[in-house]
Structure formats: C-alpha cells, structure tokens
Amino acid sequence: MLPLVKVGLPPSEQLMPSLERVLYSGQIAEGEQVYEFEERFSKHFGLSHVLAMSSGTAALHAALTLSGVSPGDEVISTPMTAEPTNTSILYCGAKVVWADVDPVSGNIDPNSILEKITSKTKAIIVVHYAGYPVRLAEIREIADRHGISLIEDCAHALGAKYDGNSVGLIGDFSIFSFQAIKHMPMVDGGVLICKEERHMRPAKKFRWFGMLKGVPRTEVDITSIGYKYNMNNVVATIGLSQLQVIDARINAFKENGKYFDHELAKIPGLDFAKCDEKGESSYWLYTMLSDTSDEIEKSLAGAGIHASKLHRPNNFHSIFSQSETSLPGLEKFYQRLLHIPCGWWVSAEDRNHIVNALRKG
C-alpha cells in the first residue's frame, strides 16, 4: 500500500555520528545544539526570533499566553485542523469560537472571522491546512483593524510561501511542528516565532518553568507560570541534520503536488484545493476534492493507494460542544475532501499510477 504519510529522516551515515557524539557528550538537555538549531532554522527559512520548543502544541500554548489570552477570552479558530490547535486554547481557559472555512481550500474564511469578532476576542488562530497558505493579507488587515493578535499555525506548512516569503512572517506569533510525520520529522519538537523581539524573554521563561537559563537557581525569582516546554540537544541534533536535506524533501512534495494539479484538472468530476494568488503550497497533504470522495477512496485502496480525509473536524468533539455553530463551508469541504499521497516517497511511477487509478475510478 502506498502510504499517505511517512517518516523521513536523513541518511544514517550523516545522522548517526552526530547523534552518538551528543548522546555521550554528557550534555543532552537544552544546550548549544538547541541554540545552534534555532539560529540555523531562522537563517534557512528567513524567520526571526525563533525559539525551539518540545512540540508545536507547546509553541501554540506559548503564543496564546504571550498574546494575553486568559480565562473568559475568546479565540477565533478553524475546526479543520489537528485537535491540538484548539485544545491549546482550552489550556488558557478561553473559549473557542469557530469561524467557517473556505470550501475551495479548507482554510479559515476571512469573511467568517469578521462575523465572529466580539469585545471578548483576544486572538485569531489561522492554520495553513495541509500546507496551503490562508488568505493572510486579508486576515492580517482584520486583526490590525480590531487590535487582535494573529497566530499562524504552520504545522502543516514548512516550505510554504506567501507573497514570496516563508509563512510565519505575518503573524504576531507563528509555530512550526517537527512531529514524526511532518515535512521535517525530529521525533518531536516545534518552534515559536515571535514577530517582536520583546516577547523572546518572557517566551524563554515560559518554556522553562518561569525561569531564564543561565541564572543561578539559588538566585532566580519566578514571577510567572512556566512549563517544561524546552527542546533538548538530542532532538536538536536530529534537526540540524535534517536542515541539510530539507530543501530536496520539500521540493519533492511541491513537484508532486504541482503534477497532480496539472493532471487532475483534466479529469471530469475532480478538483483540488487552491490558495490565493500570493500563496504557494508545500503540499504536506495533497487535497483533492470530489462529490464522490468516499467511492474514490475505496477505489484507490483497491489499487494499493492509501487515501483518507485524515483529520476529523474539531467541532465534532464533545469537548468543544459550547462552541457549536453552523458551518456550511466546512460541511461542503469535508464532504468533498480526500487526501492522496504526495510526499518525497511518491516516485514518478507512483504518481502516474495514482492518476491512472483516478481516471479509472
């Protein structure tokens, strides 16, 4: 079965010597490798004020807290995402307010965001779902006009671009994930991007029990809540090795995605997700759309191809029952949605096989 997602690590001859060195160095917690990873990730993707975290979820929790989200506040978000995007809002004691999605892309709809803003709205979380950038220019303007923090969840979108630059530059805070099946797996981990340098000091305290590294423990004074959300040197070493090969891997996703865009446009009854003219997808999941998606999924399985909707809309979960609302755009998108394999492991022969199976289906 051709998998929908797959773990991609650097060649063992490149990774294992550096891993062995750090494992037996006597310094395996947060240290120089973590700080080197932050610097190199920042330069590689053109992002400033990068802070390495234990996970993308930890980075989201930090972004919400640094945005001032607290009990009684509201955060506008999308239900079309992995659950941690929205459970992190609950960590802060805030209420999730669903905005509808654009059925063309599956991304949060700026027009719906406008309708959901109240005096209690503290932040907007946007998710570049499956690697397809949201309509960032419109949403940034909305956030600025209403004095609301904008948080970009880029967990699916490493390598995606908006207006020629990496996603993650436009939000007040942004996060990336290095969980096992993302573009750049590091076993786990994530980064927080702060648009303003002034947030870095409180963010560093937030990721380490409310304390700053480098201050003697006998002299430190904790003044705010913090967590054990730091990255360690072992994970960072994997990340440093991954940065040497990540461009080729992301380019493979993009090449396969563009191939599918071109070929699916020729097949009646099939469509695919689209960004606005400023967006460039990194195709973490290729998003196909069809009124017969369930039947196509079964047909592809018969051809040895794993296809799936993969995610469950978060508004289906009981924990978000207080946020229940009508979401016709989401309903239309999810009914038509089907993800097909698109990553670095999909060869030219594989993608031809997928297209031929779709034609037959």
- 164 confidence band (pLDDT: 50, 70, 90): very high
DSSP secondary-structure letter at 158? Answer: T
CA pair distance 317, 55, nearest whole angstrom:
22
User: Do 147 and 55 fall into the same domain?
Assistant: yes
Q: What does the pLDDT average to over 110-121?
A: 98
Which CATH number covers residue 36?
A: 3.40.640.10
For CA atoms 14, 15, 19, 20, give the dihedral sign. Answer: negative
Alpha-helical (H) ranges within 50-135 are 56-66, 84-91, 110-116
Q: Could you tell me the pLDDT band of residue 177, with boundaries at 50, 70 and 90?
A: very high
Are the C-beta atoms of 207 and 229 separated by less than 8 Å?
A: yes
The pLDDT assigned to 110 comes to 98
| 262: pLDDT strictly greater than 80 | yes
Q: Provide mean pLDDT across the span 259-264.
A: 98
Same domain, 334 and 348: yes
55 closest CA partner among 162, 157, 180? 180
14-18, 215-219, 292-296, 331-335: segment of lowest average pLDDT: 215-219
pLDDT surpasses 90 at 139: yes
Write down the pLDDT at residue 303.
97
* 3 falls within a domain: no
Mean pLDDT of the chain: 97
129 with 83, same domain? yes
Does 137 lie in the same domain as 89? yes
pLDDT above 80: residue 208: yes
Determine contact, residues 288/264, Cβ cutoff 8 Å.
yes
Q: Please indicate, yes or no, whether residues 257 and 200 belong to a single structural domain of this protein.
A: no
Write the burial class of residue 184 (CB in 10 Å: 0-12 exposed, 13-18 middle, 19+ buried): buried
Domain hosting residue 320, numbered range: 246-360
CB neighbourhood size of 306 (10 A): 16
**212 and 295 together in one domain:** no
Instruction: Determine, yes or no, domain membership for 228.
Output: yes
| CATH code of the domain in which 263 resides | 3.90.1150.10
CA angle, 37 as apex, 34 and 43 as ends, to 5°?
Answer: 150
What pLDDT is stored for residue 27 in this prediction?
Answer: 96
pLDDT bracket for residue 90 (50, 70, 90): very high
Structure tokens at 205: 């305290």
Q: Is residue 2 a part of any domain in this protein? A: no
C-alpha 48/C-alpha 275 separation (Å) is 25
Q: How many domains does the chain have?
A: 2
In contact, 64 and 96? CB cutoff 8 Å: no
- Residues 153 and 215 both lie in one domain: yes
Last residue of a domain, one of 242, 268, 285: 242
Beginning with the edge strand found earlier in the chain, give each strand of the sheet holding 95-98 in spatial order. Answer: 50-53, 190-194, 173-177, 149-153, 121-127, 74-77, 95-98
| Alpha-carbon separation of residue 340 from 111, 157, 166, 337 (angstroms) | 29, 17, 24, 10
Residue 216 binned pLDDT confidence (cut-offs 50, 70, 90): confident
Same domain, 264 and 330: yes
Q: Classify residue 112 as left (phi > 0), alpha (psi -120 to 50) or beta.
A: alpha
Contact 201, 78 (CB under 8 A): no
Last residue of a domain, one of 242, 272, 303: 242
Q: What is the predicted pLDDT for the residue at 213?
A: 87
Decide if 7 is inside a domain. Answer: no
Read off φ and ψ for residue 79, nearest 5 degrees.
Answer: -80, -10
**Side-chain-side CA neighbours of residue 237 (13 Å):** 21
Whether 82 and 116 map to the same domain: the answer is yes
77 found inside a domain: yes
Q: How confident is the model at residue 215 (pLDDT cuts 50, 70, 90)?
A: confident
Residue type, 315: N
pLDDT of 180 above 80: yes
Residue 5 within a domain = no
% of residues, the chain, pLDDT over 70 = 100
Per-residue pLDDT at 150: 98
Q: Which of 185, 130, 128 is nearest to 151 (CA)?
A: 128
pLDDT computed for residue 325 by the predictor: 97
210 and 253 part of one domain? no
For residue 361, is pLDDT > 80? Answer: no
Pairing of strands 121-127, 149-153: parallel
Tell me: do 201 and 262 sit in the same domain: no
For the segment 51-65, the average pLDDT, to the nearest whole number, is 98
- pLDDT of 101 strictly over 90: yes
Q: Name the token pair of 31.
A: 């240290």
| Mean pLDDT lowest among 136-150, 180-194, 206-220, 315-329 | 206-220
Beta strand 165-166 pairing with 271-272:
unpaired
**For residue 217, what pLDDT band results from cuts at 50, 70 and 90?**
confident
Q: Average of pLDDT values for 62-75?
A: 98
Cβ atoms of residues 64 and 57 within 8 Å: no
pLDDT at 255 over 90: yes
Q: Confirm whether 300 is domain-assigned.
A: yes
With a CB cutoff of 8 Å and minimum separation 6, the contacts of 103 are: 329, 330, 332, 333, 336
Contacts of 307 (CB under 8 A, 6+ apart): 4, 288, 296, 297, 300, 301, 338, 339, 340, 341
Q: Looking at the structure, do residues 303 and 326 belong to the same domain, yes or no?
A: yes
Final residue belonging to a domain, choices 222, 242, 262: 242
pLDDT of amino acid 302: 96
